[in-house]
């Protein structure tokens, strides 16, 4: 079961946003696999997409549509990624947008498509277009929970987060859902995330808010080091709350950025906690680096090490694997005698080797926990970096070996 994850928390409706879901039979009959998100007129939209060169057809088309005009609809399907499908995939994605445009009486370019699932298989356009009417008929402002379930693939649990904050007599809501469990690595992950607020904010400020939030959340996680073809994180602002125009320094905008960051970080952590086969949630914290980039380099070298991850699955305090990962992270002129390494508060490495006061029993105690922090102090500067990851278990291999069966 996912590490420390419970049922979905209460998800506050966002004025100007409605979700509708349906079963289109894309991969399995009877499963909710088609979602529509309707956006009120005047909604602004910010986005971050995968950096994988083989980005999926829906990513290509969503970027084109977003550059042309503000979206009124998101169309999301699971069970098929529509990636690695060439020109036919682009044509299929456009056909789905056109079908929804005809049904909703809007331009196809006002529809943003999103897909997740198996790579390399043709998109079942007829199944998707046939399911649009049912999904649209189910539209409701309280559809966040149903949508959180409908966008899942190998996820075990649905993922959602919600915040509200007030400045004077103005109350702003931020609610988001996400999916992701495997093929998770920054830039971004095999994930979809949809976040909405009722604040009235310009597209420029909204994009800055999302970019900053993603840096400390979805781009600070890894399950297996694989960057997906379909990643997308969307933040929309419906403008339904009445307040003065926002500036970068005003209290409402600062509160909005804090709320969006908290929602993104909660969703990002949920993805790692639900990592395929995960039994441990691991925070890798690098301190005293010369730069954030250097700190992240060390953090990801540790987080991506199969030897480190399997040791955590076995609850084996094999600290030599962590030491070796730090040593091969490519940090120039690393002073081995100055750095220290901790498991939680247990010092395992000092003065270039095993800490003299380290006891194996203390390391074993920490490793048996479900949540563990690896802390490395490089003694080189004042910058810090943090990455969330998980262990590798037998189930990770099984899930991915059986993914298409």
Residue 169 is assigned to a structural domain of this protein: yes
102 and 227 in a single domain? The answer is yes
pLDDT score for 403: 61
230 and 324 in a single domain? The answer is no
267 and 294 in a single domain? The answer is no
Between CA 46 and CA 235 the distance in angstroms is: 5
Asked if residues 190 and 276 have their Cβ atoms less than 8 Å apart, the reply is no
Between CA 392 and CA 272 the distance in angstroms is: 12
Q: What is the pLDDT of residues 275-293, one digit of tens each?
A: 777 899 999 999 999 999 9
Residue 217 is assigned to a structural domain of this protein: yes
209 and 255 in a single domain? The answer is yes
Which domain covers residue 160, as residue numbers?
Answer: 17-273
75 and 161 in a single domain? The answer is yes
3-state DSSP call for residue 147?
Answer: helix
Residue 5 is assigned to a structural domain of this protein: no
Residue 336 is assigned to a structural domain of this protein: yes
**Which residue among 273, 292, 324 closes a domain?**
273
Q: What is the pLDDT of residues 14-71, one digit of tens each?
A: 999 999 999 999 988 889 999 999 999 999 999 999 888 888 999 999 999 999 999 9
Residue 74 is assigned to a structural domain of this protein: yes
219 and 289 in a single domain? The answer is no
Q: Write down the residue that tokens 């309280």 correspond to.
A: 142
pLDDT score for 188: 42
146 and 31 in a single domain? The answer is yes
Taking alpha carbons only, the member of 164, 147, 167, 165 closest to residue 155 is 147
The string of DSSP codes covering 283-322 is EEEEEEESSHHHHHHHHHHHHT-HHHHHHHHTT---HHHH
Confidence of residue 156 (pLDDT cuts 50, 70, 90): confident
pLDDT score for 184: 57
Per-residue CA distances from 323 to 3, 27, 78, 146 (Å): 26, 44, 40, 45
Residue 7 is assigned to a structural domain of this protein: no
106 and 215 in a single domain? The answer is yes
Per-residue CA distances from 226 to 191, 311, 324, 374 (Å): 12, 20, 22, 22
Asked if residues 219 and 186 have their Cβ atoms less than 8 Å apart, the reply is yes
257 and 307 in a single domain? The answer is no
Count of domains forming the chain: 2
Q: Backbone dihedral region of 375: left (phi > 0), alpha (psi from -120 to 50 degrees) or beta?
A: beta
Taking alpha carbons only, the member of 74, 387, 83 closest to residue 233 is 74
Query: Which residues on adjacent β-strands are paired with residue 399?
Result: none
Residue 3 is assigned to a structural domain of this protein: no
Per-residue pLDDT for 187 more than 80? Answer: no
**Which residue among 273, 294, 321 closes a domain?**
273
> Going along 214-364, which residue ranges are E strands?
232-237, 281-289, 340-343, 346-350, 353-354
CB under 8 Å to 118, separation ≥6 — which residues? 27, 79, 80, 81, 403, 404
Between CA 130 and CA 132 the distance in angstroms is: 6
312 and 253 in a single domain? The answer is no
Mean pLDDT of 149-175: 95
Q: What is the pLDDT of residues 210-252, one digit of tens each?
A: 999 999 999 999 887 766 778 899 999 999 999 988 999 999 9
Residue 11 is assigned to a structural domain of this protein: no
Q: Cis link prior to 188 (omega < 30° from 0)?
A: yes
Between CA 97 and CA 221 the distance in angstroms is: 31
Q: What is the pLDDT of residues 255-266, one digit of tens each?
A: 999 999 999 999
Q: Is this prediction's pTM over 0.85?
A: yes
Check which CATH number belongs to the domain holding 374 and give it.
3.10.20.340
pLDDT score for 118: 86
Q: What is the pLDDT of residues 88-100, one digit of tens each?
A: 999 999 999 999 9
Q: What is the mean pLDDT of the chain?
A: 93
Check which CATH number belongs to the domain holding 36 and give it.
3.60.70.12
pLDDT score for 286: 98
Per-residue pLDDT for 80 more than 80? Answer: yes
As annotated, the active-site residues are 190
**Which residue among 234, 254, 273 closes a domain?**
273
Report residue 1 as tokens.
């079961």
96 and 51 in a single domain? The answer is yes
Sign of the dihedral through C-alpha 99, 103, 106, 111:
negative
223 and 324 in a single domain? The answer is no
């Amino acid at each position: 079961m996912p590490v420390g994850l419970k049922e979905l928390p209460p998800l506050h409706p966002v004025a100007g946003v409605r979700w509708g879901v349906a079963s289109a039979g894309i991969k399995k009959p009877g499963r909710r696999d088609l979602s529509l998100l309707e956006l009120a007129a005047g909604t602004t939209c910010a986005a971050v997409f995968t950096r994988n060169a083989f980005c999926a057809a829906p990513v290509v088309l969503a970027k084109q549509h977003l550059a042309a005009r503000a979206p009124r609809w998101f169309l999301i399907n699971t069970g098929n990624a529509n990636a690695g499908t060439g020109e036919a995939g682009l044509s299929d994605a456009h056909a789905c947008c056109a079908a929804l445009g005809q049904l909703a009486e809007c331009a196809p370019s006002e529809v943003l498509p999103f897909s997740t699932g198996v790579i390399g298989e043709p998109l079942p356009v007829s199944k998707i277009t046939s399911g649009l009417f049912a999904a649209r008929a189910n539209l409701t402002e309280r559809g966040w929970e149903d949508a959180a379930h409908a966008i899942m693939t190998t996820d075990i649990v649905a993922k959602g987060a919600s915040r509200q904050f007030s400045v004077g007599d103005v109350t702003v809501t931020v609610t988001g859902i996400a999916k992701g469990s495997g093929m998770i690595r920054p830039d971004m992950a095999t994930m979809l995330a949809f976040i909405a607020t009722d604040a009235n904010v310009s597209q420029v400020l909204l994009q800055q808010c999302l970019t900053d939030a993603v840096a400390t959340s979805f781009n600070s996680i890894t399950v297996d080091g694989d960057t997906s073809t379909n990643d997308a994180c969307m933040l929309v602002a419906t403008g339904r709350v009445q307040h003065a125009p926002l500036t970068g320094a005003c209290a409402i905008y600062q509160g909005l950025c804090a709320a969006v960051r908290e929602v993104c970080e909660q969703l990002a952590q949920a993805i790692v906690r639900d990592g395929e086969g995960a039994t441990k949630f691991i925070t890798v914290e690098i301190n005293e680096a010369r730069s954030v980039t250097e700190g992240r380099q060390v953090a990801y070298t540790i987080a991506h090490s199969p030897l480190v991850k399997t040791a955590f699955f076995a609850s084996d305090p094999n600290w030599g694997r962590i030491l070796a990962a730090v040593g091969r992270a490519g940090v120039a002129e690393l002073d081995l005698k100055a750095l220290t390494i901790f498991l939680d508060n247990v010092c395992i490495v000092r003065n270039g080797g095993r800490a003299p006061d380290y006891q194996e029993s203390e390391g074993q105690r920490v490793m048996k926990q479900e949540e563990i922090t690896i802390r490395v102090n490089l003694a080189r500067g004042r910058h810090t970096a943090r990455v969330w990851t998980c262990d590798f278990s037998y189930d990770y291999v099984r899930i991915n070996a059986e993914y298409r069966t």
